[in-house]
Chain A
Amino acid sequence: MRAWLEKAGFDPRFTSLVLALALIWVALALATDGIFLTPRNLYNLSIQTCVTALMACGMVYLIVARQIDLSVGSQMAFTGMVIAWVQVEGLGAETPFAWIASIGAGLVAGMLLGAFQGWWTAYRGLPAFVVTLAGYLMFRGAAFLVADGQTLAPLSTTFQRIGGGVHGSIGPQWSWLLGLLACAWVISQAVYARRSRRRYNAAMAPMWAEVVKTLVTCAALLGFVAVVCAYPDPGVDEGVAATGKGIGVPVLILIAVAAVLTIVSQRTRFGRHVFAYGGNPEAAFLSGLPTKRVVLTLFMLMGALAAIAAVITTSRLNSGTHSIGQMAELYVIAATVIGGASFAGGVGTIPGAIVGALLIQSLDNGMVLMDVSSAKRQIFIGLILIGAVWMDNVYTRRMTR
């Protein structure tokens, strides 16, 4: 089965992950009498997944490069407080463009936190585990200090839309347009790749497999658009016929970030260097790669992504509190590992991490619908994590034998 998948150009790991997700969805749909699969719940699920998935995109890079960041939750809290502070205390929430300035400040703050951790790790040679454990404590403390433990609210009304709540989506027309554009892009990429490979007479996966892969991807994209458009927008004013909500803003952000980071990881020098470093740090150094700079950049990227996650979270809460992002690091790392990244380094994909995040969030969401207590949910998700890593071990052992 595995050999057959590989021959057809399917990544066996990713394929089994998607199949696992499909199984879980069917199970949850049955267990909740179909509530899980209602447009309303799937829209919420898509929004809930974004925060974890965004940070998982950065965590993949770090884990691929044999690093880890335990402080992402605390980074969210600190950058979230910075954002809220700029809006509420600094510029005034309804000052024009204050929300943009606050996002800029949050991103800079996140990158500075990342630079701090990256510097200690890359240039001073401390283990990332220790540095980011320290960051976990320090940044949480710093988040408290920003407003002396106060909650900062309310935030700009424009800013609130970023969280995907009221007016936080782009409506059916734009959603369909975007969905179709995405499909066109997927198809053109597949065609372009084949043409380029033919030019050099390189080996190619069979045509039918490529077609299946492209069709499944497009079907998933359009299916998603159809679902979120089927969810009537509850925020629309009384009296007007309700239209569908369409794709939520957080999802758009996630798609943009994931697309950019996927291209960076597969098509750029930097991405290649990250994977080379993760595969063999010594070889990367001997090949003249700027290994320290690569690691530093990765931590800064992680900080920026934590800041974006904080933008979405504070926007949804319409306030800045220092307690956001608790346990986020664990969910993010779990999502990344479930998505196929390996702590041995050099292995991991962004789509995998996003599906991993979706898988965890689906379980969480579904169990809430089933009235499972939060204590039991934690136990269950912990077990899923162990199961995923165990499967990863079995998989790698089989690969190297």
Chain B
Amino acid sequence: MTALVEVRGLSKHFGGLMAVDRVHCTLHAGEVVGLLGHNGAGKSTLIKVLSGVYPADEGEILVRGEQKTFESPSEAREAGIETIHQTLALAENLDAPSNLFLGRELLTPWRTLDTDRMEHEALQVISRLNPNFRDMKKPVRDMSGGQRQTVAIARALYFNAKILIMDEPCAALGPAEVRMVQETIRRLKAEGIGIFLISHDMGDVFEACDRVTVMKNGAVVDTVRVADVTQDDVLAMIILGEKSKARGTQMNTDEHR
């Protein structure tokens, strides 16, 4: 079975700094892969290359076996990749529906913005994540951190992505909202969507992910199946940057799915 996403020897440097250093990783349909690593390990940079924000310096990206180079974020979106960025990427002065449909606005037959329909649709998808979220007309600036994050998540969900990248989606969420996100992840997984999940919360990672890829200083330390390791093993990998000595990691999990 060809992988949904395959990253081969991908590198990205900022001046002399190797932010992403010859990274290999894969993502299959219906799978959640955690990307872990210390602050500044290069996780966000890696997913920014995947979502068309930065061009890769080296290496290639294959989507369903097909080689892709994304010139812009919109090209990655067209390939079915939706990204929730760590910074959320919301225009603070606009309201939730405007942000949700930013760049993909719904239009009336006269090619003008269909604001009322966008508001209606936004309410549907957002209230599924957070039933208490009512005030659609408020600019994002006036929302709480968790509400903003909900808007960003809703935006990624609305457009039926095949590949979902979530860069710390739960960082600002309350426990109930985290549950909703976990449940959403499970549902999407069942629908055959592949998800890259970046998180610093080991509990969340172990609950949601099938495999984890650990990075240190831009390079991949190892990829392991969650079932084969303990949280302490993974923590040790993140901190020490060494392959886990736990059983089962010798086999390359990428090849054996």
Chain A residues within CB distance 8 Å of chain B: 196-197, 199-200, 202-203, 263, 266-269, 272-273, 275-280, 282-289, 345-347, 400
Stretch at the interface among B107-115, B170-178, B210-218: B107-115
Complex A-B, nearest 3 residue pairs according to Cβ-Cβ distance, in ascending order: A288-B74, A279-B93, A346-B93
CB distance from B85 to the nearest CB of A (A): 6
Among residues 40 to 70 in chain B, which have CB atoms less than 8 Å away from a CB atom of chain A? 51-53
Contact A276 B120 (CB under 8 A): no
Cβ contacts under 8 Å, A197 to chain B? 116
Cβ contacts under 8 Å, B120 to chain A? 200, 202
The CA-CA distance from A367 to B167 in the complex, in Å, is 59
Q: Interface code B177-188, partner A: CB below 8 Å = 1, 0 otherwise?
A: 000000000000
Chain B residues within CB distance 8 Å of chain A: 51-53, 72-75, 77, 83, 85, 87-94, 98-99, 102-103, 105, 107, 111-113, 116-117, 119-120, 136-137, 141
User: Can you name the residue of chain B whose Cβ is closest to the Cβ of A198?
Assistant: B116
Cβ contacts under 8 Å, A202 to chain B? 116, 119-120, 136
Cβ contacts under 8 Å, A200 to chain B? 116-117, 119-120
Contact A278 B93 (CB under 8 A): yes
The CA-CA distance from A203 to B52 in the complex, in Å, is 38
With A269-B107, A279-B93 given, name 12 new contacts (CB 8 A): A267-B112, A275-B91, A276-B102, A277-B91, A279-B92, A283-B87, A283-B89, A283-B90, A345-B93, A346-B91, A346-B93, A347-B93
The CA-CA distance from A400 to B77 in the complex, in Å, is 33
The CA-CA distance from A273 to B92 in the complex, in Å, is 13
User: Can you name the residue of chain B whose Cβ is closest to the Cβ of A195?
Assistant: B116
The CA-CA distance from A129 to B224 in the complex, in Å, is 52
Cβ contacts A to B, 26 pairs, < 8 Å = A200-B116, A200-B117, A200-B119, A200-B120, A202-B119, A203-B137, A266-B113, A267-B112, A267-B113, A268-B111, A268-B112, A268-B113, A269-B113, A273-B103, A278-B93, A283-B88, A283-B99, A286-B73, A286-B83, A286-B87, A286-B89, A289-B74, A289-B103, A346-B93, A346-B94, A400-B141
